[in-house]
Structure 1
Amino acid sequence: MYPDRVVSGMRPTGAMHLGHYHGALKNWIRLQSELPCLFFVADWHALTTHYDDPSIIETSTWEMLIDWLAAGVDPSQSTLFIQSQVPEHAELHLLLSMATPLGWLERVPTYKDQQEKLADRDLATYGFLGYPLLQAADVLIYRASHVPVGADQVPHVEMMREIARRFNHLYGKEKGFEEKAKDAVKKLGGKRAKIYAELRKAYQEQGKAEALLQAKAMLEDTQNLSMIDRERLFGYLEGSGKLILSEPQAYLTEASRLPGLDGLKMSKSYGNSIALREDKDSLTKKIRTMPTDPARVRRTDAGDPERCPVWQLHQVYTDSATREWVVKGCKSAGIGCLECKQPVIDAILKEQEPMRERAQVYLDDPSLVRAIVADGCDTARKLAQETMRDVREAMGLSYS
């Protein structure tokens, strides 16, 4: 087994908005203090749908990175890098494509869904069909244990697991594997070797999943095993061979509940977003002009917060006492809509103030961002090269 590691990326769409912050970045910031994390700009992925206009990718990449840093992603805790600067991603994608069934790509739920949503674009390309495979390579190359995703992305992670499993089955047949695995069993010591054999038999002959989990836990606790022997014993447990690629787990994160200015999902393409570092005057104007309950035509008309997009923002940004004040005041016409909006404006500005301060450092000296990314690319590339050495060797491409 390989060390626990989190991997996640975003396509460079330019400046982030509050929906990105509440939907993804807050989870990244929490995870970076719990596990080693690698976060990357998926610039190649931007080309899968916008290959005919790559002009904004570079500018969008730097804008997005500054927003990550402004939000609180910490380069001393996380590795930040750009996908295309680690060419091993492309090599693993190519090699995985040799053995990935076409039907696996065609059945990905988002494939047809995105074709329908982006009907104005020509998506009859291999790049678009193969993007889940490139996504798998992005994660598998770091032998990630966890991939933070929303529920709609779980099928993508399951596909990554299938691809890793198929690769290990096809290429994990190390010469003399069984003899080497049996030698590794002896290194466990008499008592543990006996337990290992019993658990392996219970799993392989009776299909007892708990036996597999117990055996894996025992191997993780065994200190005197080399990494290669540990890999062999994990593979021997499941009756396969050496584990070359890890099977990542979906790390379910709470979906963003932050609506846009019109109550729909926040999106730049909908024109209803608030930027992560929105100018104070612009933000105030956007919220003050938000639509409210259509029943409140006049100040004296009573309303219902449940019919008002502003109420959805209150549920994210204000405390229970303020929300109670809003419900009472709205339903009795005791407060006006502008009064109702002010606590939301104040709360968002308070949330954004440290973000603007952190961002200013990088806006004043862009070389700082480039240095962080250069270091991150070096770190990521070393990890990627370790995996690719094993992959090439397993596929007969090492030529050593």
Structure 2
Amino acid sequence: MPVHNVNVLKPKEKIYLDYNATTPTDSKVVRVMLPYFTVHFGNASSDHSFGWQADDAVETARGQVGRLVNCRTTELTFTSGATEAANLALFGFCKRNRSKGNHIISCKTEHKAVLDTLKALEADGFEVTYLNVDSQGNIDLETLEDSIQASTILVCLMLANNETGLIHPVKSIVEFTHSKGVPVMSDITQAVGKLSVDLQDLGIDMAIFSSHKLYGPKGVGALYLNKNNVISIDKYVFGGNHEKGIRPGTLNVPGIVGFGEACSIAQDCMEANHQHYKGLQHQLEEGLSTIEGTSINCQYENRLPNTTNVSFKGVDGTKLLRYLNSLAVSRGSACTSNQVNPSHVLKAMGVDDATALASLRISTGRNTSSDDIEKAVFEIKKAVNQLKTINV
């Protein structure tokens, strides 16, 4: 009788381990959305029963999103995603406050959506200080203090890094920068739905996040503006007074409804999911650590429970993903025009180019099982050992 190795993937079997990139839309979310495509299809700005029904659904969703992150509904503006929210927040706030100064402080490990927007602001005459990080991705708070100038109008730092999972001490940073009279914007995209995020407690002035990272639909996100701190931004997108004029255009009612439902589900299963992710993370890292030359980035730091970033010394990183075609994992780098570049996050942490290219971001989700992790570890070990043999 043949012996079957439980580690071996069946032909054409794929394992998805890239939940930080996107998540499948929860079936409950899809069910709630469907009527708003076909039956309750009204424009939320229309002044009749179809429009009123759509507007009621939008406001219900706004409440569901607000409850997850503990903020008022009046503080939330729906957008097409976190990238648009970053543009609206950074351009709108900086241009509104240009008379007060033109200096912004951020970090080298921010998401490209923020970094690229900051570059556009630099081209418009703003000055940006990009803080360095240590080998674990942490910023130095004394360096942050030294970087604040009389012309500093904003500090922009993410809550949780999308590649390593590192969690910045945003509450402490906010308390310090506020003592200097400087507001804080934070990309909280990767944290929402995985951690308990309390915007009132954190004291953040502006925040951005997205639906599709927490089992909601793509194409919808949110911008948070703290009313307690009287944060306001210039409007630079025009075409109507939707969303108080901050983000004009017909609202994506089905997407917003789905976003709200996804937030409600995330709130209900937060603790159970956290324990599930931690167990998988421990299993994964214990298995990968048996591979010679392996290092887990930020392993002993405060991290997201579902995220592991692992580097393999002496491995040809340009071939690694091809050897792992049964696994959906991320290199944690930008691949454009057939040119592979090492992760800007790992490079900022001092990882050399070759090792950064031979690094993987593995992010688990609600559907990930212990069996998935066991098979993934087997496949990664096999690939790394094959590439080491080839390189000898």
Q: TM-score, length-normalised on structure 1?
A: 0.22
TM normalised by structure 2 equals 0.23
The structure number with the bigger radius of gyration is 1
Structure with the higher fraction of residues in helix conformation: 1
